Amino acid sequence: MKIVIAIDGYSGTGKSSTAKQVASRLGYTYIDSGAMYRAITYFFLKNDIDFQNQSVMIKSLPDCTITFDNGSIFLNGQNVDHEIRTMEVNQSVSQVSALSEVRTKLVEQQRKMGEQKGVVMDGRDIGTVVFPKAELKVFMTANMDIRAERRRKELDKKGIDEPLHVIKENLIERDRIDSSRKDSPLKMADDAKEIDTSHLTLNQQIDKIVEMAESIIYASRD
Ligand code: DC
């Protein structure tokens, strides 16, 4: 039996890297739901759409088609893997993802992608809203300083030099907006397993989740 694995948690806890590797070990499809919110944010930025003007943002949503191919994300056919990871997008994405119309559009698409099961999806509301019946739900947390340092290294690898305090402030602000928004706030599902990744290596995180998944898959065979 194939299952759905939902991985939620705060920004910079290592969800994406972990989820990607878990999917690869299980032969599952990995879907980065945060990348979809980032792609819409990039679309608004690119088209100079005013973030204060919600009605213009909502009206332009049908012009925004997001697809995945071979681990890459495309906005209206253009590969935007790099464009969605800038600080500019980081600074606006929580505001965009608080819009209900944006969430409705993306949640519908995410559910379709999970229909066949055999998916690992990471985000903020995957276990609570997108797949409330997911067979395995994981909620990742980590110490703030460790999260900021991890994000800094990630940006550094992409050639983006950002001071640690700016990254930390952005993480704190995103946590605040993501956890307090009215529609689908970031919170741990009652039946999720919490993993504190502060002192775990990436491989240890992956091992833990793969073990949990395999025991569920194994038990379902009886
Ligand atoms: O995982 P990430 O940092 O790439 O996500 C970027 C933003 O997208 C995050 O700050 C909140 C939003 N998001 C969301 O609201 N719901 C999701 N399922 C995934 C991301």
Domain ranges of the chain: 4-207
Taking residue 169's Cβ as centre, other Cβ atoms within 10 Å add up to 13
DSSP for residue 190: T
* Dihedral of alpha carbons 184, 189, 192, 197, sign: positive
Residue nearest to ligand 1 atom 11, measured at CA: 94
If you measure from the C-alpha of residue 87 to the centroid of ligand 1, how many angstroms do you get, rounded to a whole number? 14
Strand ranges (E), the chain:
4-9, 29-32, 66-69, 72-75, 78-79, 119-123, 136-141, 193-196
- Looking at domain 4-207, its CATH superfamily turns out to be P-loop containing nucleotide triphosphate hydrolases (3.40.50.300)
- Angle 140-155-182 from CA coordinates, rounded to 5°: 45
pLDDT of residue 115: 92
Q: Please report, for residues 51, 57, 215, the alpha-carbon distance to residue 3 in angstroms, rounded to integers and kept in the order given.
A: 38, 35, 11
Listed residue (28, 40, 12, 30) closest to 141, CA to CA: 12
Q: Is the CB of 11 under 6 A from ligand 1?
A: yes
If you measure from the C-alpha of residue 219 to the centroid of ligand 1, how many angstroms do you get, rounded to a whole number? 32
Residue nearest to ligand 1 atom 5, measured at CA: 34
- The whole-number mean pLDDT for each consecutive block of 10 residues of the chain, a chain of 222 residues, reads 95 91 97 97 96 92 95 96 92 92 97 95 97 97 95 88 93 91 93 96 96 94 69
Residue from 93, 99, 101 to probe ligand 1 pocket by mutation (most atoms less than 8 Å from CB): 93
pLDDT of residue 155: 85
Q: Please report, for residues 69, 115, 116, 155, the alpha-carbon distance to residue 84 in angstroms, rounded to integers and kept in the order given.
A: 16, 26, 27, 12
Taking residue 186's Cβ as centre, other Cβ atoms within 10 Å add up to 22
Listed residue (164, 17, 159, 169) closest to 90, CA to CA: 169
Q: Is the CB of 174 under 6 A from ligand 1?
A: yes
Residue nearest to ligand 1 atom 8, measured at CA: 34
121 CA: nearest ligand 1 atom: 18
Q: Is the CB of 90 under 6 A from ligand 1?
A: no
Residue nearest to ligand 1 atom 16, measured at CA: 124
Average pLDDT, the chain: 94
Does pTM surpass 0.85?
A: yes
Q: Is the CB of 135 under 6 A from ligand 1?
A: no
CA dist 201 and 8 (Å) reads 18
Residue nearest to ligand 1 atom 9, measured at CA: 94
